[in-house]
């Protein structure tokens, strides 16, 4: 059953043969997996060691096949750049020359061409291939064993007006191994490395692949080395250096980037986890660890707890203010409520009901009496106000055809007001429907 994984590099196969080997081996593994599943029919939910090994082997084959496909694609791009750039440049040169000839012809004919200034004001024509990065082309050639172009003087190439481009074929691996490759000095380790194996930083310094990877790896474990930089110039995002960094390192760096750039971070309070918890996993003052599902208080950074956090300084200051002013907090939603006049029975906007005070408060009754006097009542309303405290308004309300201010919401009602049949309470229809 054991089958060795094919490798184009190990056996020196061409890409087509290696792709065929991968395809055949994948088909064999799929067939073995189907047979193994048929044997354990009726035992869903578990896999055998044989199936697990086959799945791992299949995943490795798929990775190798993808690497081979990426290699073929890159090689195709390299060939296209090498073989077609000169032809495209030659065609562009012909178009520019035709435009210049037209301007000259119009001048001889005595015609003032509007396009004359547009053409003549342009800088000397240059080729499309000049806009290409010659070093990048040579890097592709060196990496994928293609013959680099010997003639890098594009203007000289145009002067020859070469119409028939010679067929440039890939060199053999033996010749590629003996061909001398340009080298660069790494600014960090000062070692000479192949020119295609160096990364150019923002400050134009160049470092080798190993030092470049170490720079980004250090940024994932040491916050003081984040972000990676050279000469105080921050290095570009790792996605721009996929040839030098592994996908695992890029993923780890991007995760650490979010962590390092987050202010007031929250880490899992579980002693065996301690993982960073991102903002997407924080709800109000509660952070849920995506790794172990442990809950952490974002204020004290300890395990989650009921009630207010004792280390919430701003909340403690607010509670002192509430206590000093005689206010109350709703036991259900925590909203701060103030009773100015009226009854101790409070109904919070969250629909929770509670008693505002447990003891008799004569000062509130005096405020209530003053309010009654100010709206036209008599000065002996104290007894009625005291009786009002014990009124549950269960005898209904009378509809008065006069304006008045609702004693609950504070709005002034112009057309009519509802008055309790037992006490002087006056409310609007909306608050009557809310439960009185």
Q: What is the pLDDT of residue 46?
A: 66
Q: Which H or E run contains 62?
A: helix 49-108
Do 146 and 237 reside in the same domain of the chain?
A: yes
Is residue 215 domain-resident? yes
What tens digit of pLDDT does each residue of 263-310 get?
888 999 888 888 899 888 888 788 999 889 899 988 888 888 877 787
Domain boundary among the residues 261, 277, 294 is at: 261
Do 344 and 403 reside in the same domain of the chain?
A: no
Domain boundary among the residues 238, 261, 284 is at: 261
The answer to whether residues 231 and 210 touch, using CB atoms and an 8 Å cutoff, is no
Do 256 and 207 reside in the same domain of the chain?
A: yes
Do 150 and 246 reside in the same domain of the chain?
A: yes
Is residue 325 domain-resident? yes
Q: Name every residue whose Cβ is closer than 8 Å to that of residue 66 and which is 6 or more positions away in sequence.
A: none
pLDDT category at 11 given cuts 50, 70, 90 is very low
Is residue 60 domain-resident? no
Of 77-86, 215-224, 383-392, the poorest mean pLDDT is in: 383-392
Is residue 162 domain-resident? yes
Do 257 and 320 reside in the same domain of the chain?
A: no
Q: Is 319 helix (H, G, I), strand (E, B) or coil?
A: helix
What tens digit of pLDDT does each residue of 37-67 get?
777 765 665 677 788 888 888 888 888 888 8
What tens digit of pLDDT does each residue of 163-206 get?
333 344 444 444 444 456 778 888 888 888 888 788 888 888 88
Is residue 339 domain-resident? yes
What tens digit of pLDDT does each residue of 106-151 get?
888 776 655 444 444 444 444 444 444 556 656 655 555 443 344 4
Domain boundary among the residues 222, 238, 261 is at: 261
Do 426 and 348 reside in the same domain of the chain?
A: no
Do 426 and 327 reside in the same domain of the chain?
A: no
The answer to whether residues 394 and 432 touch, using CB atoms and an 8 Å cutoff, is no
Q: Higher model confidence: residue 293 or residue 353?
A: 293
Do 157 and 244 reside in the same domain of the chain?
A: yes
Q: Name every residue whose Cβ is closer than 8 Å to that of residue 424 and which is 6 or more positions away in sequence.
A: 372, 377, 381, 384, 385, 388
Q: What is the pLDDT of residue 161?
A: 31
Mean pLDDT of the chain: 73
For residue 399, how many C-alpha atoms fall within 13 Å in the half-sphere facing its CB? 4
Is residue 43 domain-resident? no
Across residues 203-216, what is the average pLDDT? 88
CATH of the domain at 195: 3.30.40.10
Is residue 270 domain-resident? no
Do 330 and 230 reside in the same domain of the chain?
A: no
Do 234 and 333 reside in the same domain of the chain?
A: no
For residue 280, how many C-alpha atoms fall within 13 Å in the half-sphere facing its CB? 3
Show the domain range for 318: 313-355
What tens digit of pLDDT does each residue of 318-342 get?
777 877 777 777 777 777 777 766 6
Per the structure, how many domains does the chain have? 3
Rounded-to-10 torsion of CA 75, 80, 85, 87: 150
Q: What is the pLDDT of residue 132?
A: 47
Do 324 and 226 reside in the same domain of the chain?
A: no
Best mean pLDDT range from 144-153, 235-244, 351-360: 235-244
Is residue 51 domain-resident? no
Do 347 and 404 reside in the same domain of the chain?
A: no
């Amino acid at each position: 059953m054991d089958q060795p994984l094919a490798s184009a590099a190990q056996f020196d196969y061409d890409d087509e043969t290696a792709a065929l080997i991968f395809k055949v081996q994948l088909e064999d593994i799929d067939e073995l997996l189907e047979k193994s599943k048929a044997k354990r029919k009726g035992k869903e939910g578990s896999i055998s060691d044989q199936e697990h090994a086959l799945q791992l082997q299949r995943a490795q084959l798929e990775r190798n096949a993808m690497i081979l496909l990426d290699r073929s694609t890159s090689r195709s791009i390299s060939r296209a750049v090498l073989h077609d750039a000169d032809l495209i440049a030659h065609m562009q040169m012909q178009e520019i020359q035709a435009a210049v000839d037209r301007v000259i012809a119009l001048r001889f004919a005595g015609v003032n061409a509007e396009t004359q200034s547009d053409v003549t004001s342009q800088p000397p024509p240059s080729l499309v291939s000049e806009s290409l990065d010659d070093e990048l082309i040579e890097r592709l050639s060196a990496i994928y064993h293609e013959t680099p172009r010997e003639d890098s003087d594009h203007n000289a190439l145009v002067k020859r007006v070469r119409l028939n481009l010679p067929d440039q074929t890939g060199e053999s691996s033996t010749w590629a191994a003996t061909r001398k490759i340009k080298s660069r000095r790494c600014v960090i380790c000062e070692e000479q490395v192949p020119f295609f194996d160096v990364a150019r930083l923002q400050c134009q310094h160049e470092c080798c692949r190993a030092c470049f990877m170490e720079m980004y790896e250090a940024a994932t474990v040491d916050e003081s080395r984040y972000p990676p930089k050279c000469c105080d110039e921050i290095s570009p995002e790792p996605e721009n250096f996929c040839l030098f960094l592994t996908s695992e390192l890029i993923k780890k760096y991007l995760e650490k980037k979010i962590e390092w750039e987050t202010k007031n971070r929250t880490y899992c309070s579980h002693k065996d986890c301690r993982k960073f918890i991102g903002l997407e996993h924080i709800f109000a003052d509660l952070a849920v660890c995506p790794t172990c599902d442990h809950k952490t208080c974002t204020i004290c950074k300890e395990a989650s707890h009921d009630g207010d956090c004792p280390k919430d300084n701003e909340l403690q200051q607010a509670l002192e203010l509430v206590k000093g002013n005689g206010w109350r907090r709703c036991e259900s939603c925590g909203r701060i409520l103030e009773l100015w006049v009226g009854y101790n029975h409070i109904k919070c906007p969250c629909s929770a009901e509670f008693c505002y005070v447990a003891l008799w408060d004569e000062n509130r009754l005096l405020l209530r009496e003053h309010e009654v006097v100010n709206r036209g009542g008599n000065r002996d309303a104290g007894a009625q106000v005291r009786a009002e405290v014990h009124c549950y308004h269960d005898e209904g309300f009378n509809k008065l055809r006069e304006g008045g201010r609702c004693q609950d919401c504070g709005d002034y009602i112009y057309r009519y007001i509802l008055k309790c049949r037992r006490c002087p309470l006056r409310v609007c229809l909306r608050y009557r429907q809310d439960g009185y």
